[in-house]
Amino acid sequence: MSSHSPHLNGFIEHITTVGNVQDVPATVVKTLIKEANLCEVLSKAIGSDSKLISWTIQKSVSQNDNYIAIITKVKITYSQNGMESLVSIVARLGPPRPSKVLNQSINYAFVKEARAYQELLPSLNSELTAIGMKPLRFPKCYYTSWEPDKEAIYLEDLRAEGYKSPGRYNGLDVAHSTLILQELARLHAASLLLEVRDSFEDLDSKYTFLEKDCFDVTEEAVKQTREVLIRYIDRTIAVLNATEGYERAAEWLNNLKPRVFEQMEKKLKTHTRFAVVCHGDCWSKNVLFRYNKKGAPVEVMLVDLQMVRRASLAVDLNYFFYNSLTGPDRQENLEKYLDIYYTSFKSVMQARGLAMPFIRAELDHEYKSKNLYGMLWAMIFVPLSASECIDIPDWRTVDESPTKGTDSLSALTNDNNMSQTLNQNPEVMARFLSLFDDMVGKADAKC
């Protein structure tokens, strides 16, 4: 894989930048927040006549809830019409980083998300509202900057509006998954409406940040990422060999290892009929829900657009299913889930008077053809989702030298960390093993 491979470079974003981003001292975080930016946020969120009085920061997420940005709540006290009030917003800030290898990838992640909020989402929402549909369910965005070392995105605080994380350890149920799939379908379909409006111009030629993922940097960075992923595969093989009944799965994965990058490239190749704007990172970590009095989810919000891309819709579906569902749920309810997705997608197209670009049976085939993509991502993230204290490297101390830089990342693939995490969490171990139950024996698994 060369340094010019746009799709697989997305691996680097998560593998090489995971770290203690939320452990940055508050004094450092405060230096990243500019009062001029907060005044602009107030103007958009509250009104141009609002005046900033003071502000404080409050930790927003745990260290393992975001791998590339500092996320903090900002409590702003302001005055308007002689009255003093308080508003909470969420700041996604570019972290200080000493490594040149990481600098470009982190910056590009912010380029993608900031431009998605600033340029892409307004256009998609315009297409939906024009046919009488509600805008896509993302937080309101008040300010963006992707200037290197000054990256910042200020968003609506959804938790202040009653939205909550669903939890991610044991997999999402049908009620949660239904809301996500309906919204994911609306996002995908809206991108087709936008292409029709623009005379079928490829969106990635207009929105250039969709063309590549977050780490199109040096060959050395790609080499390091390849080494880290191979280490992760090796640790997975060790876990499978130590688990009775999974020796065949270990053999299959070992045979796949030399071709894994080429296979990922293959899965990301997109047939025109299925090419849409994909969220890129839609799983239980990146959704929030509002619940009714009985505890049932009634509304969903999607967050985190740092991996937004144009690809096959099945890339998003596989990423979500494998990272967010248990094996039994994924297997037993797959047809129901794809029906839900297809119906939501079709409702958008029909409202615009357009025919579906594919039939239901073709959706099945496209989904299955991309299974390996979702499975490989889940091989990494299912174990990570089980622990809030896994020993992951701190990107602030990543050495730029090829050898030391790679060694500093080895904690991510530490055999003991992975084995202990899985063995201490039976439900997560079951989810992990189900990945291989799905793949081994399928025609796709033969690659």
What is the per-residue pLDDT across 383-427, written as a single tens digit (0 to 9) for each?
877 754 344 444 344 444 444 443 333 444 555 678 888 888 899
**pLDDT above 70: percentage of residues in the chain:** 80
Does residue 81 belong to any structural domain of this protein?
yes
Question: Exposure of 50 by Cβ count < 10 A (0-12 exposed, 13-18 middle, 19+ buried)?
Answer: buried
Query: Residue 406's CB: how many other CB atoms inside 10 A?
Result: 20
Biggest CA-to-CA distance, the chain: 71
pLDDT at residue 398 in the model: 43
- Whether 14 shows a pLDDT value over 50: the answer reads no
Number of domain units in the chain: 1
pLDDT top residue among 60 and 150: 150
| E strand residue ranges, 81-229 | 83-93, 141-145, 152-156
Burial class (CB in 10 A: 0-12, 13-18, 19+), 80: middle
Token duo for residue 90: 């969420």
pLDDT for residue 11 is more than 50:
no
**pLDDT value at 112 more than 80:** yes
Quick one: pLDDT band at residue 227, thresholds 50, 70, 90? confident
Q: Between residues 10 and 291, which one has the greater pLDDT? A: 291
Helical residues (DSSP H) of 198-333, grouped into ranges: 203-206, 219-241, 247-256, 260-268, 313-324, 327-332
Q: Is the pLDDT of residue 15 over 50?
A: no
Q: In the predicted model, what is the mean pLDDT of residues 178-203? A: 93
Contact assessment for residue 210 and residue 277, using Cβ atoms and an 8 Å cutoff: yes
Q: Is residue 251 part of a domain?
A: yes
With cut-offs at 50, 70 and 90, classify the pLDDT of residue 100: low
Query: Is residue 5 in a domain?
Result: no
Query: What pLDDT, on the 0 to 100 scale, is given for residue 220?
Result: 62
Does residue 224 surpass a pLDDT of 70?
no
Give the alpha-carbon dihedral of 39, 43, 46, 51, to 10 degrees: 50
Structure confidence by residue, pLDDT tens digits, 245-283: 999 999 999 999 988 877 777 777 767 789 999 999 999
Q: Average pLDDT in the 132-160 region?
A: 97
In a domain, residue 3? The reply is: no
**138-163: average pLDDT:** 96
> Residue 37 above 60 pLDDT?
yes
Cα distance between residue 52 and residue 33, in whole Å: 14
Determine, yes or no, domain membership for 4: no
The span from the CA of 391 to the CA of 40, in Å, is 38
- Using the predicted structure, report yes or no on whether residue 198 has a pLDDT greater than 90: no
What's the token pair of residue 219?
Answer: 């060959």
Asked if residue 1 belongs to a domain, the reply is no
- How many CB atoms are located within 10 Å of the residue 158 CB? 20
What tokens appear for 294 in the block? 């009985």
Instruction: Dump pLDDT digits (tens) for 335-380.
Output: 999 999 999 999 999 999 999 999 999 999 999 999 999 999 999 8
Residues near 147 by beta carbon (within 8 Å), at least 6 away in sequence: none
Mean pLDDT, to the nearest integer, of 8-25?
45
The answer for residues whose C-beta is within 8 angstroms of residue 53's C-beta and 6 or more apart is 77, 78, 79, 84
Higher pLDDT, 213 or 154: 154
Q: What is the dihedral of CA 233, 237, 240, 246, to 10 degrees?
A: 110
Amino acid letter, 406: T
CB 413 within 8 A of CB 227: no
Per the listing, tokens 């623009």 go with 198
Is the pLDDT assigned to residue 93 strictly greater than 90? yes
Domain around 103: 10-446
| pLDDT band, very low/low/confident/very high, at 321 (cuts 50, 70, 90) | very high
Q: Does position 7 have pLDDT exceeding 50, yes or no?
A: no
Handedness of CA 215, 219, 221, 227 (dihedral sign): positive
Q: What confidence tier does 20 reach under pLDDT thresholds 50, 70, 90? A: very low
